[in-house]
Amino acid sequence: MVGRVLEELPRGARVAVIRLRSLGDCVLTTPALDILKRFRPDLRISMVVEDRFRDLFTGNPDIEEILPPEAGRLRRAGVRLVLNLHGGPRSAWMTAVSGARQRAGFGHFRSQFVYNRRIPRAQEILGVNRKVHTAEHLASAIFHLGAPVTQIPRAKLVARAAASARAVIHPSAATTEKTWRAEGFLEIARHLEASGHEVVFIGGPADDLSPFGSFCTRRGAPLAEIKSLLAAAPLFVGNDSGPAHMAAAFGVPSVVLFGASDPAIWGPWRTPAEVIAAPANLASVPVERVLEAVARLRVHA
């Protein structure tokens, strides 16, 4: 049953949304924030997130303040509603001690005693019998709390500075099962370069970008810089990963390779995209298949 929690909040009430990590999950939280703010533009939204992901929310007009995951800071904020979209023990504890009268979390979360507003499965809220995308799952919480069900928008990131237009390639992923071979990414980069595109390879602080040293590389760059690179990019090519969701947030045409994860749940959200799924052996995907996907996006390579 859909609640009326949002309608009952007083004008100008503060709402805290907890999403501590990770990169992709944080990006896919922003459509829910958009829906919340559109329904109640007077609400003052505090985003609770780990400092390393803070820049994903910097500049977002839906958010009034970004808080570190410290219970004292959250309690002093004077929130009327805490919406926990994270679900782990740390976020549950923060929800419990927040001082908020309304404490919402999904029904599958542990520590259910913390929540006096339990949110059912997204399928029940949306009235569907299929897998739901992570963006749909997170947005369904806002619908359950009282916002009318509507189309779920693209994720929202704000880039603070312009960058030159370069095709962005992200060759890394969390596990080997989710990672296409380095030689394949190199060949894609050579094709793009030959067709007149500048190319930049990006990676996290722990990623090895040495195989791509003949191209521009940005290893461990701040998220603010990655946002600027992606906001200007004519194309993104990469494994299923956080940067793929960042690219989708800027509407960048994207080719995303999926190994172990499910594109129905984690695919590019609301951007022109080609998904290449090979759960049995991602490394075996031929370069030609990726180049064909690039061509279908009408990007010359």
Return the domain boundaries, the chain: 5-144, 167-296
Assess whether the region 5-144 and the region 167-296 belong to the same CATH fold: yes
Q: How is residue 29 written in tokens?
A: 């939280």
Q: What is the pLDDT along the chain (301 residues), one digit of tens a residue?
A: 457 999 999 999 999 999 999 999 999 999 999 999 999 999 999 999 999 999 999 999 999 999 999 999 999 999 999 999 999 999 999 999 999 999 999 999 999 999 999 999 999 999 999 999 999 999 999 999 999 999 999 999 999 888 899 999 999 998 999 999 999 999 999 999 999 999 999 999 999 999 999 999 999 999 999 999 999 999 999 999 999 999 999 999 999 999 989 999 999 999 999 999 999 999 999 999 999 999 999 987 7
**Residue type at position 99:** G
pTM exceeds cut of 0.75: yes
Determine the Cα–Cα distance for residues 44 and 33; give it in Å rounded to an integer: 11
Distances in Å between the alpha carbon of 109 and those of 106, 141, 229, 257, 293? 6, 13, 36, 30, 38
Determine the Cα–Cα distance for residues 94 and 23; give it in Å rounded to an integer: 21
Domain spanning 167-296: CATH 3.10.150.10? no
Q: Which fold has domain 5-144?
A: Rossmann fold (3.40.50)
Residue with tokens 């989710």: 178
Beta partners for 167? 199
CB 31 within 8 A of CB 153: yes
